[in-house]
Chain A
Amino acid sequence: QSALTQPASVSGSPGQSITISCTGTSSDVGSYNLVSWYQQHPGKAPKLMIYEASKRPSGVSNRFSGSKSGNTASLTISGLQAEDEADYYCCSYVGFSTGVFGGGTKLTVL
């Protein structure tokens, strides 16, 4: 159960698009389409933004999209807004009812 690999930080200007990667192995991300993405603002509980690699829960802006290729999943945020500034975490199912998170990525909106 090694943590998934995410960049420590990414940044972008309002209106731009950014992509956060989440790299695992053939035993986790590569084996299951069960990758989720979470947004966490300081002092708040995480919020589900993407599940099953590319599905968006109701109420989540369509500016957020997810994809997966091989052992790497990605979260793309288009039309960046100030309120998107937060920490983002990916999470993958790894079999036998277990999961693993990525180390997290701090998004700064310039």
Chain B
Amino acid sequence: EVQLVESGGGLVQPGRSLRLSCAVSGFTFGDYAMHWVRQAPGKGLEWVSGISWNGGLIGYADSVKGRFTISRDNAKNSLYLQMNSLRHEDTALYYCGKDIAVTVTTGIDYWGQGALVSVSS
């Protein structure tokens, strides 16, 4: 059974940092690209970042470029999102997702249940 479990969310002050993790099981992690997608309370989905199977190709939404860093450790079956200089508008439920291919296609066939990040003073 494929499982993606996010962790690391919480309440953080504006300007501070937070690191999300996504532990996966049930498939060969190193064979697929991965994504972070977020959803602000009551709002729609927003694509945040994607990373290819080996980390060689990475993309970010303009809204987080320069502040967020995606990475992966295939030996640990884990995906990460380092979030720096957090803003109120980063408050959202952050989903980890598995792509259908080795490179980013935005076809995300498995999703975690999300990690809630709240940015507030």
A-side residues, CB < 8 A to B, are 1, 34, 36, 38, 40, 45-48, 51-52, 57, 87, 89, 91-93, 96-104
Contacts and interface: CB of A to CB of B under 8 A. Distances in A.
B36 to A, nearest CB: 11
B106 A99 contact: yes
A-side binding surface: helix, strand, loop or mixed? Answer: strand
A40 B37 CA distance: 13
B107 A48 contact: yes
B105 A93 contact: yes
A97 B114 contact: no
Interface of B: 33, 35, 37, 44-47, 50-52, 57-62, 95, 100, 103-109, 111-114
A97 B104 contact: yes
A99 B47 contact: yes
B95 A45 contact: yes
A104 B44 contact: yes
Contacts of A45: 95, 111-114
